[in-house]
């Protein structure tokens, strides 16, 4: 891994369309942006943030999430997630994550990712079969 410093950030956006709604994802019955979709967007932003610093077969995997979903987003509204690297503990990366819709903050928390070697990680994982 190349030298990585705190303060770097990345953002990703989607539109709250049918595939991202709680009613479609099985996380509720309402046509609102689903909590699992918000979490995935936050994780994607964090992974994107780390990506330029990875070398060779390195990738990151999510290891911990502590997130609050504080406001519902209606179908059709744009949702953005931002990840800011706040700590580097060897191969562990800690991010502050926030999600917003067009009206304001909808979620926030922390997310940890760990830098792993893809091939070795998958070999170890598949050995569980």
Give me the average pLDDT of each 10-residue run along the chain (129 residues).
96 98 97 98 98 97 98 98 98 98 98 98 97
pLDDT score recorded for residue 7: 98
Tell me, yes or no, whether 2 lies in a domain.
no
The reply to whether 1 falls in a domain is no
- What total number of domains does the chain contain? 1
Q: Is residue 79 within 8 Å of 39, Cβ to Cβ?
A: no
Residue 82 belongs to domain with CATH number? 3.10.129.10
In a domain, 3, yes or no: no
Residue 114 lies in a domain: yes
- Domain extent for 59: 9-126
Q: What is the pTM of this model?
A: 0.95
User: DSSP E strands: which ranges in the chain?
Assistant: 9-15, 58-69, 78-89, 92-101, 104-117
């Amino acid at each position: 891994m190349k030298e990585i410093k705190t303060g770097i950030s990345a953002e990703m956006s989607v539109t709250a369309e049918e595939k991202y709604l709680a009613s479609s994802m099985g996380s509720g019955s309402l046509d609102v942006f689903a909590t699992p979709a918000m979490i995935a967007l936050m994780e994607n932003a964090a992974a994107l943030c780390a990506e330029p610093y990875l070398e060779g077969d390195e990738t990151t995997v999510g290891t911990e999430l502590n997130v609050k979903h504080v406001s519902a987003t209606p179908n059709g509204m744009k949702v953005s997630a931002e990840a800011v690297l706040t700590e580097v503990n060897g191969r562990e990366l800690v991010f502050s994550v926030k999600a917003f819709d067009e009206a304001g903050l909808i979620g926030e928390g922390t997310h940890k990712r760990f830098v792993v070697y893809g091939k070795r990680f998958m070999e170890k994982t598949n050995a569980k079969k």
